[in-house]
Amino acid sequence: MSSAFVKESEEQWLHDIPPTLNALIVYLTRENNGIRVYEQKSYKDPKTGKDVYAMSNGLAYSVDGDNRWFIVD
């Protein structure tokens, strides 16, 4: 009789990664099938005063009040 071992997924969500730019880059690169994602520019959001990072994948990211990454609209 044999038994199969199923490896539990190591999925990580955007809001689960540490609130550092390096962690964001590593996460986005992994999600982009290993193709490096990099910061194109950063700026302060005029409404919230928070740092916003425009990345090479075409999206912008910021950290909320709970220190979780989110996609800026």
Query: How confident is the prediction along the chain (73 residues), in pLDDT tens digits per residue?
Result: 444 554 455 689 999 999 999 999 999 999 999 999 999 999 999 999 999 999 999 999 999 999 999 999 8
DSSP-derived letter for residue 70 is E
Give CA–CA dist 46/14, Å, rounded.
23
Which of 73, 65, 67 is CA-nearest to residue 24?
Answer: 67
Please tell me the chain's helix, strand, coil percentages from 3-state DSSP, rounded to the nearest 5.
20, 25, 55
pTM of the complete model: 0.82
Domain boundaries, the chain: 14-72
Give CA–CA dist 20/7, Å, rounded.
28
Kindly report the backbone phi and psi dihedral angles of residue 60, in degrees, each rounded to the nearest multiple of 5, phi listed first.
-115, 145
